Chains A and B, each alone.
Chain A
Amino acid sequence: MIVLENITKSYPLSHGRHYVFRNLSFAFPKGANIGLIGPNGAGKSTLMNILGGIDIPDSGKVITNKSISWPVGLSGGLQGSLTARDNVKFVARVYGYVGKNMHEKVRYVEEFAEIGEYFDQPIKTFSSGMRARVTFGLSMAFDFDYYLVDEAGAVGDANFKKKSMAVYKEKLKSGNVILVSHNMAEIRSLCDHIIMINNGKAEVFNDIDEGINMYENLRKSV
């Protein structure tokens, strides 16, 4: 269960404040994969950050009894001067995996990332693609009830994209995804329901096609 209650979120601008949401309340459909769609600047990423706990609303709250991941592919959480291995160890320890369990997580990420001996080099020497492989593998190494994903297939070469889609499908057997994407094919292949964010409102569509149609109409009408 994820319920948003009276969420208000604003950002200060050079003159006045910009309100992304005012008293937004809605419930996420239970145990389902959600696609978040909406025009640029509608507040999809803001909503994701609030769900992930890395941003807080001005008022209102998120009520949940599920574990929610950090935004998948978050690269800010890695320390540039440490090696990929040390960074993965850190996250594993934080989530309570020590000793053998920790090494299991490290091995998973190492095998998933396929960056060879670079795994033992400082992150700051990585290319953005290599970094993405590590951050993505890191997110997939842990089990959450909900994974927050911003643009599932945005990074990596074709090979890596195929691989990540396969892992998503695997992870979705036990968990759910909340996916922000402009790629409707991606939404169709991963999601069960659609939530459209527009003008500070959220509209829940239980039928994917209905949601996508609404969104396409909205885009044409602008």
Chain B
Amino acid sequence: MIKTSNKRFSAFDQFISVLFALFLRELKTRFGEKRFGAFFVIAEPLLHVMFLLFIFVFIRSRMMPQVSFELFLITGLIPFFIFKNIVMGLMSSIDANKALFAYRPVKPIDTYITRTILEVIIYMVVFSVIIFAFGFFGGLDVSIARPLEVLGVFCLIVLMGFSFGIIASLLAQVFPITKMIVGIVMSVLYFLSGIMYPLWIIPSNYLSHLQWNPLLHLVELFRENFFSHYPKVEGIDLFYPLIITAFALAISLYFYRYRRLALAAKS
């Protein structure tokens, strides 16, 4: 049992104050000492998305009768990026914060949660800025058809990234090659999750294979609920990614519990 030196201090208060301290620290480290640090944290994913939009919309313009292609792309890119960044961020968070575990109140899981919250905030801002720009300057209809469902799917994506991120982080501590493998898997997922193409152009015999990927279901559900008339694809359901996430979360937390002291240790 570890006591803190401040006696009137419950475990929950402790947890919150560590999260707050880590959050400010991550913000300050990321924003750096540069004057436009805060700008670049938002601008970097923004530019990435803008660049892809530019390529797809202007250079090889595509026709899609049901929804505008700009919005189609952005509603795929944002969920994917948030998933990818949470997994990658969590995977490197132990090494990045190792020195901090010398302060007993800081637990590895605090750094996982902090990084997840930070990514969520960054991408929510990026998403809002882009959607606003499309609506205000581009004259597109950016109203969300079913906002609560969109939020629910978004939360599930975050939770799935969180679970897989912890699993990746635990594996990376034992097998360093995990980092390379996860990097490769992410770039493959980028093409297999229906980000840049509509699912209905995929022949149905391939589609059933693609549907093993839970992220594909979530991206598709995100779009189905974002647009009012989005063509539904056979076989997309919420149950499958939900089960996968619940399973991954249980496994990640179980093995985290088992390995938590080793994660915080120096060697």
* A residues adjacent to B (C-beta < 8 A): 11, 49, 52-56, 64-68, 70-71, 74, 76-79, 81-82, 86, 89-91, 93-98, 122, 142-145
Contact = CB atoms under 8 A, between A and B. Distances in A.
A89 B20 CA distance: 11
Interface string B253-267: 000000001101111
Nearest to A78: B99
Nearest to A75: B99
26 contacts: A49-B266, A53-B264, A54-B264, A55-B265, A55-B267, A56-B265, A64-B1, A68-B104, A76-B99, A77-B99, A78-B99, A89-B21, A91-B103, A93-B18, A93-B20, A93-B21, A93-B24, A94-B18, A94-B103, A94-B105, A95-B6, A95-B103, A96-B9, A96-B13, A98-B17, A142-B5
A163 to B, nearest CB: 22
B91 interface: no
A12 B120 CA distance: 40
Interface in B2-40: 2-6, 9, 13-14, 17-18, 20-21, 24-25, 28-29, 32-33
Given A52-B102, A67-B4, A81-B29, 8 more contacts: A54-B102, A55-B265, A79-B29, A90-B21, A90-B24, A93-B21, A94-B106, A95-B105
B101 interface: yes
A81 B28 CA distance: 9
Contacts of A53: 2, 101-102, 104, 264
Nearest to A101: B6
A190 B117 CA distance: 46
B41 interface: no
Given A55-B267, A122-B33, A143 B5 contact: yes
B29 A82 contact: yes
B100 interface: yes
Contacts of B28: 82, 86
A77 B100 contact: yes
A65 B28 CA distance: 35
A77 B97 CA distance: 9
A54 B266 contact: yes
A82 B24 CA distance: 11
A94 B6 CA distance: 11
B25 to A, nearest CB: 5
Contacts of B13: 96
A96 B4 contact: yes
Contacts of B20: 93
B262 A56 contact: yes
Contacts of A54: 101-102, 264-266
Contacts of A97: 6
Interface in B232-267: 261-262, 264-267
Given A94-B17, A94-B103, A96-B17, A65 B25 contact: no
Most chain-A Cβ atoms within 10 A of its Cβ — which of B9, B104, B105?
A: B104
A48 to B, nearest CB: 11
Given A70-B103, A74-B102, A76-B102, A94 B21 contact: yes
A150 to B, nearest CB: 13
Contacts of B266: 49, 54-55
Most chain-A Cβ atoms within 10 A of its Cβ — which of B14, B24, B102?
A: B102
Contacts of B9: 96
B3 A79 contact: no
Interface in B189-207: none
Nearest to B13: A96
Contacts of B264: 53-54, 56
A156 B9 CA distance: 35
Contacts of A74: 102
A131 B236 CA distance: 57
A7 B211 CA distance: 50
Nearest to B261: A56
